[in-house]
Chain A
Amino acid sequence: MKRRDFLAATSASVLPIMLDGFGLKAMSHQSALVQSLLNTSALASDRILIIIYLNGGNDGLNTVIPLDQYSLYNGLRSNIAIPQNAVLGLDGNPATGLHPAMTGMRDLYNDGKLSIIHSVSYPNPDQSHYRATDIWMTAVDSNQISSSGWAGRYLENRFPGYPTGYPNDQMEDPLAIQIGYLTSTALLGSQQSMGIALSDPDSFYQLVGSTSTTSPNDLPCCDAGELIAFIRKQQALSVGYSSEIKQAADAGQNLATYPASGQNSLADQLKIVARLIHGGLKTKIYFVSLGGFDTHSGQVDSGDVTAGSHAALLGKLSTAVTTFQQDLKLQGTEDKVVGMTFSEFGRRANSNDSKGTDHGIAAPMFVFGSNLKHRTIGQNPDLANLTGQAGNKDVNMQIDFRRVYTDILNDWFGAQHTTTSSLLFHEFPTVSLFSDTVETVATGNWKDPNVWTVGRVPFANEYVKVNAGHTLTIDKTVSVKNIRLEGKLLFTGPYSIQMTG
Chain B
Amino acid sequence: MSKFLVSIGNSALNRSNCSQQKFSFIFYGHELDKMVSLDTYTTILTAKTAAHLLRRATFGPTQSEIASFTGLTASQAVQQLITNANYSPPPPVDLDSDQPTAGQTYLDKPFSHDRNFDFGHYLRCWWLGLMTTQSTPPSLLDKLSLFWQNHFVTTREIVGDYRFLNQYLLLLRNNALGDFRTVVTQISKEPAMLRYLNGNENVVGHPNENYARELQELFTVGAFDFAGNKNYSEDDVKAAARVLTGWEYTNYEEDDSTSFTTIFTDEKHDSTDKTFSAHYNNTIISGRATSLPGTTSAGDAELADLVTMLLNHPHTPRFICRKLYRWYVNPTITQTIEDEIIGPLAQLFLASNYAIQPVIVKLLTSQLFFDETNSGAIVKSPAELAIGTMRFFNQPVPDITTEYAAFKIYFDFVYYRMQDMQLAILDQSSVFGYEAYYQTGYSKIWINTTTIGFRYDYTDAYVLRYLQVKPDYLMGIDVLAWATNLQPNFSDVAGTPAISCVDVLNGFTVNLFVFDLLQSQQDFLIDTIMMQDLPRTSWLFQWNAYRTNPMDGGASYEVRSRLENLMKYMLRMAEYQIF
- B221-242: which have CB < 8 Å to A? 223-224, 228, 234, 237-238
The answer to whether A231 touches B379, judged by C-beta atoms less than 8 angstroms apart, is yes
Question: B residues within 8 A CB of A22?
Answer: 422, 448, 450-451
Identity of the chain B residue whose Cβ is nearest the Cβ of A245 in the assembled complex: B449
B268 to chain A, nearest CB (A): 10
The answer to whether A352 touches B207, judged by C-beta atoms less than 8 angstroms apart, is yes
Q: Does A45 contact B (CB under 8 A)?
A: no
Given contacts A207-B454, A241-B449, A352-B206, contact A1 B15 (CB under 8 A): yes
Q: Does B494 contact A (CB under 8 A)?
A: no
- B15-35: which have CB < 8 Å to A? 15-19, 22-23, 26
Question: B residues within 8 A CB of A425?
Answer: 1, 4-5
Question: A residues within 8 A CB of B23?
Answer: 222-223
- Count of A-B residue pairs with CB < 8 Å: 249
The answer to whether B1 touches A157, judged by C-beta atoms less than 8 angstroms apart, is yes
- A220 is contacted by which of B206, B429, B438, B515 (Cβ under 8 Å)? B515
Question: B residues within 8 A CB of A354?
Answer: 198, 201-202, 206, 208
- B210 is contacted by which of A188, A224, A297, A392 (Cβ under 8 Å)? A297
- B452 is contacted by which of A147, A153, A235 (Cβ under 8 Å)? A235
Q: Once the chains are docked, how many angstroms separate the CA of A189 from the CA of B4?
A: 46
Q: Once the chains are docked, how many angstroms separate the CA of A26 from the CA of B207?
A: 43
Given contacts A193-B413, A196-B420, contact A148 B4 (CB under 8 A): yes
Question: B residues within 8 A CB of A181?
Answer: 422, 429
B519 to chain A, nearest CB (A): 9
Question: B residues within 8 A CB of A129?
Answer: 430, 432
Identity of the chain A residue whose Cβ is nearest the Cβ of B514 in the assembled complex: A224
Number of interface residues of A (CB under 8 A): 84
Number of interface residues of B (CB under 8 A): 93
Give the one of A156, A209, A235 with max B CB within 10 A.
Answer: A235
Q: Once the chains are docked, how many angstroms separate the CA of A232 from the CA of B524?
A: 15
Q: Does A402 contact B (CB under 8 A)?
A: no
The answer to whether B198 touches A356, judged by C-beta atoms less than 8 angstroms apart, is yes
Identity of the chain B residue whose Cβ is nearest the Cβ of A423 in the assembled complex: B1
Q: Once the chains are docked, how many angstroms separate the CA of A358 from the CA of B117?
A: 29
Identity of the chain A residue whose Cβ is nearest the Cβ of B204 in the assembled complex: A353
The answer to whether A25 touches B210, judged by C-beta atoms less than 8 angstroms apart, is no
Identity of the chain B residue whose Cβ is nearest the Cβ of A125 in the assembled complex: B234
Identity of the chain A residue whose Cβ is nearest the Cβ of B331 in the assembled complex: A223
Identity of the chain A residue whose Cβ is nearest the Cβ of B424 in the assembled complex: A184
Q: Does A250 contact B (CB under 8 A)?
A: no
The answer to whether A291 touches B429, judged by C-beta atoms less than 8 angstroms apart, is yes
The answer to whether A208 touches B449, judged by C-beta atoms less than 8 angstroms apart, is yes
The interface-forming segment of B84-92, B287-295, B439-447 is: B439-447
Q: Once the chains are docked, how many angstroms separate the CA of A105 from the CA of B358?
A: 57
Q: Does B473 contact A (CB under 8 A)?
A: no
The interface-forming segment of B39-47, B305-313, B569-577 is: B569-577
The answer to whether A128 touches B429, judged by C-beta atoms less than 8 angstroms apart, is no
Excluding A11-B18, A145-B228, 8 further A-B contacts by CB distance (< 8 Å) are A2-B18, A184-B419, A213-B569, A218-B520, A224-B578, A238-B448, A297-B201, A359-B213
Instruction: Provide a sorted-by-A list of 19 A–B residue pairs whose CB atoms are within 8 angstroms.
Output: A2-B440, A6-B441, A14-B18, A21-B450, A23-B450, A25-B449, A130-B432, A188-B419, A192-B413, A193-B417, A204-B450, A208-B453, A215-B524, A223-B330, A224-B514, A227-B443, A231-B379, A238-B448, A425-B5
Q: Which residues of A approach B to under 8 Å, CB–CB?
A: 1-8, 11, 13-14, 21-26, 55, 127-131, 140, 143-148, 153, 156-157, 181, 184-185, 187-190, 192-194, 196, 198, 204, 207-209, 213, 215-216, 218, 220-224, 226-232, 234-235, 237-238, 241, 291, 294, 296-297, 352-354, 356, 358-359, 392, 422-423, 425
Q: Which residues of B approach A to under 8 Å, CB–CB?
A: 1, 4-9, 12-13, 15-19, 22-23, 26, 117, 121, 157, 197-198, 201-203, 205-210, 213, 217, 223-224, 228, 234, 237-238, 330, 332, 372-379, 412-413, 416-417, 419-420, 422, 424, 427, 429-430, 432, 438-441, 443-445, 447-454, 456-457, 514-515, 518, 520-521, 524, 528-529, 569, 572-575, 577-578
